[in-house]
Amino acid sequence: MAPIEMISAIIGLTLTLMIFSYLIGDNPLFRIAVYIFIGSASGYAAAVVWHYVLTPKLFEPLTDPAQLLLLVVPLILSISLLAKLSPRISWIGNFAMAVLVGVGAATAIGGALVGTLIPQAMAAMDGLNFRAATGSAFYSVVEGAVMLIGTVLTLVYFQFAAKRASDGTVKRNPIVEVLAFSGRIFISITLGVLFSGVYMAALTAMIERLSSVINFLKLLLGL
């Protein structure tokens, strides 16, 4: 093994053991490893922002007179955000912050609509398209029905319209309440699948690190 590979393996082994030390409780070794990870991730993010955002989209276009006028407004808004560092003049960056929040909210809603809701509805309708079905018709009907019912019930769960009863309490329509409860079941199943995927990914990463530690110790001991 080359010296650089040996040093990298030792550093990886040390950091892995420092992270695993959390199994015996919170301790300085674990906190040091977390600080190193956060610092490295922050430095990497800053380098990515500098090389792929600021330099090509701000500083390099500033040298082109044709694009200079187009960059005046975003440049002023970006500089005004620095005013948020001081409570006295933080109001200067309110407009730029409002633009960021508005654009971010619109992007999130548009992404949810175009990337999730519409494809989910289209997939539910395609499931009932018998001409395009590749398997048996019964299986296609069941699959399409489950997708369609799950989509509708999930949307009903987020329907919060209610009426005030005679006793003063606010209640939803009983039929809507039953449908919303059924939608909650579909949401629970979905969250369970997502969490199991996260845990499987974490378990895979842990197995990989343990295998790496064992292989390094075998190589170090000449086994």
Give a yes or no: residue 122 inside a domain. no
Same domain (yes/no): 22, 54:
yes
Q: How far apart are CA 14 and CA 21, in angstroms?
A: 11
CB atoms near residue 58 (< 10 Å): 13
Same domain (yes/no): 147, 109:
no
Same domain (yes/no): 160, 218:
yes
Residue 212: predicted pLDDT: 82
Whether the predicted pLDDT of 102 surpasses 90: yes
Residue 134: predicted pLDDT: 58
* Start-end of H helices in 22-173: 28-49, 60-62, 65-81, 94-112, 118-126, 137-157
More confident residue, 125 or 154: 154
Residue 129: predicted pLDDT: 67
How many domains does the structure of the chain reveal?
3
Q: How far apart are CA 142 and CA 139, in angstroms?
A: 5
Same domain (yes/no): 106, 32:
no
Same domain (yes/no): 20, 42:
yes
Same domain (yes/no): 134, 204:
yes
Residue 131: predicted pLDDT: 66
Q: 3-class SS at 164?
A: strand
Q: How far apart are CA 122 and CA 119, in angstroms?
A: 5
Q: How far apart are CA 73 and CA 96, in angstroms?
A: 10
Same domain (yes/no): 2, 89:
no
Same domain (yes/no): 131, 217:
yes
Domain around 107: 72-117
Give a yes or no: residue 155 inside a domain. yes
pLDDT (mean) for 54-74: 78
Per-residue confidence band for 136, with pLDDT thresholds at 50, 70 and 90 = low
Q: How far apart are CA 120 and CA 118, in angstroms?
A: 5
Residue 64: predicted pLDDT: 76
pLDDT tens digits along 143-154:
778 888 888 888
Give a yes or no: residue 213 inside a domain. yes
Give a yes or no: residue 135 inside a domain. yes
Residue 93: predicted pLDDT: 87
Give a yes or no: residue 31 inside a domain. yes
